[in-house]
């Protein structure tokens, strides 16, 4: 049902619709008429929700800092899992991966040619020269956060270090291209162009996601411009920027044996950093580092 100009706004501000979200809704309708995919209203976070999600994100950043201070050669990925579990639970939160669609551990640890969703294991030992992604996701009072970083274990070779650095720059470029009333493809274009300019490729099959009230919400976030998923970006949307950048080709395969781990098809390295953010009236607010 369409709201009248003098009705209370749908956002709960207590203001009249005409003084609140009427102009906002008209802009969305306009974009939709022009054929653009637009976000459903339920994807727009309220100020209260944003505050709860910020608190979840703070713990998530704390977990990553905790890992960063301890990760070293000789450590197993099961030990990283234990660090994540204990820190998270010790701060009154729950690791989102644990039991998520049957995922057996509290964190994803993806080494070298592993693109994402590596499963921590007592038999996997980090060794000098490895590059590893630690992907941490937290639930605090029902609110979700998600971020990942790359770690270079001891001294890594120059090519690996360059991939790790460029993958991080890709996230920064992507974020810089995000603007309210802009489009998702502007972000994807910036990410993909920077990867390609450095001789790398971006994985196409796996994207990012909306987040906050659930682990994975709409929109689907791609990092290679695509027509199907392009969407208008409006204030209140929250999603992850987490491109997977490959040293070689963009093709990947799923390890059917554990049902989770994605690896590069050519066996070359892959790197990923993940940030979650809120689109605001005048730009973005980064929620995780
Ligand atoms: N943290 C991953 C992401 O960025 C999701 C992993 S799902 C899990 O979307 F079950 F493997 F944890
Ligand atoms: Co994510």
- Closest ligand (CA of 276): 2
**DSSP SS3 for 213:** coil
Q: Can you name the residues that pair with 116 across neighbouring β-strands?
A: 262
- The domain segmentation of the chain, as residue ranges, is 43-288
Distance in Å, CA 39 to ligand 2 centroid = 19
Q: Of all atoms in ligand 1, which is nearest to the CA of residue 117?
A: 11
Distance (Å) of CA 177 to CA 99, 173, 180, 272: 35, 6, 10, 18
What H or E segment, with its residue span, contains residue 188? helix 184-197
Q: Of all atoms in ligand 1, which is nearest to the CA of residue 96?
A: 12
R_g of the chain computed on alpha carbons: 20
Q: Of all atoms in ligand 1, which is nearest to the CA of residue 240?
A: 4
Q: Which residues contact 213 (CB under 8 A, 6 or more apart)?
A: 45, 49, 142, 143, 144
- Closest ligand (CA of 96): 1
- The low-confidence residues of the chain, meaning pLDDT below 70, are 1
**DSSP SS3 for 129:** coil
Q: What is the CATH number assigned to the segment(s) 43-288?
A: 3.90.230.10
pLDDT at 144: 98
pLDDT at 289: 80
Has this prediction a pTM greater than 0.85? yes
Contact 255, 262 (CB under 8 A): yes
Pocket test for ligand 1, best of 56, 104, 215 (most atoms within 8 A of CB): 215
pLDDT at 223: 98
Distance in Å, CA 95 to ligand 2 centroid = 13
**DSSP SS3 for 224:** coil
Q: Is the CB of 217 under 6 A from ligand 1?
A: no
Q: Please tell me whether 230 is known to bind a ligand.
A: no
Q: Is the CB of 97 under 6 A from ligand 1?
A: yes
Looking at 112-189, which runs of residues are DSSP E strands? 114-116, 131-140, 143-152
Angle at CA 197, nearest 5°, toward 191 and 201?
60
Q: Please tell me whether 66 is known to bind a ligand.
A: no
Contact 211, 217 (CB under 8 A): yes
pLDDT at 12: 86
* Token pair for 68: 């960063």
Q: Is the CB of 81 under 6 A from ligand 1?
A: no
Distance in Å, CA 4 to ligand 1 centroid = 42
Q: Please tell me whether 256 is known to bind a ligand.
A: no
Contact 54, 43 (CB under 8 A): no
| Residue found under tokens 């998270």 | 88
Q: Which residues surround ligand 2, an ion (CB under 5 A)?
A: 146, 240
What H or E segment, with its residue span, contains residue 275? strand 275-279
Q: Please tell me whether 21 is known to bind a ligand.
A: no
pLDDT at 1: 67
């Amino acid at each position: 049902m369409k709201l009248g100009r003098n009705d209370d706004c749908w956002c709960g501000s207590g203001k009249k619709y005409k003084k609140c979200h009427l102009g906002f809704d008209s802009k969305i309708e306009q974009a939709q008429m022009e054929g653009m995919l637009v976000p459903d209203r339920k994807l727009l976070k309220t100020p209260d929700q944003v505050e709860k999600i910020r608190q979840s994100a703070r713990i998530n950043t704390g977990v990553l800092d905790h890992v960063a201070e301890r990760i070293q050669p000789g450590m197993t990925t099961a030990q990283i899992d234990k660090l994540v579990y204990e820190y998270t639970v010790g701060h009154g939160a729950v690791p989102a991966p644990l039991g998520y669609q049957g995922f057996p551990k509290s964190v994803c640890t993806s080494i070298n040619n592993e693109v994402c969703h590596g499963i921590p294991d007592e038999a996997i030992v980090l060794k000098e020269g490895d590059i590893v992604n630690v992907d941490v996701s937290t639930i605090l009072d029902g609110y979700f956060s998600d971020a990942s970083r790359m770690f270079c274990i001891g001294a890594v070779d120059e090519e690996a270090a360059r991939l790790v650095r460029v993958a991080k720059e890709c996230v920064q470029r992507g974020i810089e291209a995000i603007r309210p009333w802009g489009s998702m493809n502007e972000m994807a274009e910036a990410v993909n162009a920077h990867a390609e300019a450095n001789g790398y490729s971006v994985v196409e099959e796996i994207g990012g996601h909306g987040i906050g009230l659930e682990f994975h919400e709409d929109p689907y976030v791609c990092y290679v411009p695509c027509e199907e998923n392009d969407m208008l970006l409006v204030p209140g949307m929250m999603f992850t920027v987490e491109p997977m950048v490959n040293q070689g080709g963009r093709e990947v395969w799923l390890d059917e044996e554990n049902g989770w781990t994605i690896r590069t098809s050519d066996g070359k390295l892959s790197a990923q950093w993940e940030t979650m953010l809120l689109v605001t009236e005048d730009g973005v607010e980064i929620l995780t580092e």
